[in-house]
């Protein structure tokens, strides 16, 4: 009941769901009202947190630098774009040598291509280099959050699920199946090999 503006929660979604969340909306007419992307499993996202493997970076800008990073999770690829207004994340994309595990905090953004498809990307607030254990923890956490949303999808009064059903349809089972294979992929992961001992001189 307090009117203190609260910070938006960073939602967890696998790439396969994130890239489907092309519908955006505002909750009020006010100029500064936050933008939300609608998640197909029935939640609104103003901010996301993701951890994956940065596989490729490229400066796709014309005049000014505009960096694109591909961040891969067990289900697909997140596209992360950082330019002059995101100087710290842009510097990370410029400096890091892929592949590397990265954690990204950012805002979902959409743009429409010439052929009318809506692409969803991440405008980062921060990008940082993390490790394999953190990435695995994120996969487990994101699986749990996704399953929670799928379970609540048919609950009465779930406002964003109703909205999602209208915008995207009600096939949330594909996200459930992706969760299962993502978790199974964790179990397959061999422990990281010990570094080769330095040859003694």
Site of interaction with other proteins (CB under 8 A): 1-2, 4, 6-12, 47, 49, 51, 88, 102-105, 125-131, 133-134, 136-138, 140-145, 147, 150-151, 176, 179-180, 183-184, 186-187
Q: Which is nearer to other proteins, 1 or 201 (CB)?
A: 1
Q: Is the CB of 60 or the CB of 133 nearer to other proteins? A: 133
Of 5 and 197, the one with the shorter C-beta distance to other proteins is 5
Least distance (Å) from other proteins to the CB of residue 11? 6
Nearer to other proteins, 49 or 81 (CB): 49
Report which of 17, 15, 28 is spatially closest to residue 168, judged by C-alpha positions: 17
Nearest CB to other proteins, comparing residues 13 and 163: 13
Closest separation between CB of residue 70 and other proteins, Å? 17
Residues 95 and 69 sit within 8 Å (Cβ to Cβ):
no
Total Cβ atoms within 10 A of residue 114: 5
Tell me which H or E stretch contains 152: helix 132-152
Closest of 90, 103, 10 to residue 53, by C-alpha: 103
In the complex, the smallest distance separating the C-beta of residue 26 from other proteins, rounded to whole angstroms, is: 18
Determine contact, residues 71/55, Cβ cutoff 8 Å. yes
Q: Minimum Å distance from CB 91 to other proteins?
A: 10
Peptide bond into 172 cis (omega under 30): no
List, edge to edge, every strand of the sheet that includes 24-26.
24-26, 35-39, 43-45
User: Smallest gap, in angstroms, from Cβ of residue 143 to other proteins?
Assistant: 5
């Amino acid at each position: 009941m307090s009117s203190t503006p609260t910070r938006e929660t960073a939602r967890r979604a696998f790439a396969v769901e994130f890239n489907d969340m092309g519908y955006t909306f505002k909750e009020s007419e006010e100029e500064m009202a936050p933008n939300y992307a609608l998640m197909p499993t029935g939640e609104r996202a103003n901010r996301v947190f993701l951890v994956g493997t940065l596989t490729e970076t490229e400066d796709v800008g014309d005049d000014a630098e505009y960096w694109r990073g591909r961040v891969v999770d067990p289900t697909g690829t997140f596209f992360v774009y950082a330019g002059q207004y995101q100087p710290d994340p842009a510097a990370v994309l410029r400096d890091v040598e892929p592949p590397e595990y990265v954690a990204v905090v950012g805002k979902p953004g959409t743009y429409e291509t010439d052929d009318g498809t809506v692409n969803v990307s991440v405008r980062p607030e921060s990008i940082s280099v993390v490790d394999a254990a953190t990435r695995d923890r994120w996969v487990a956490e994101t699986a749990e959050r996704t399953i929670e949303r799928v379970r609540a999808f048919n609950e009465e009064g779930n406002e964003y699920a109703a909205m999602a059903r209208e915008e995207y349809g009600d096939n949330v089972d594909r996200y459930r199946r992706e969760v299962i294979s993502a978790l199974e992929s964790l179990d397959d992961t061999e422990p990281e090999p010990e570094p080769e001992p330095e040859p003694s001189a």
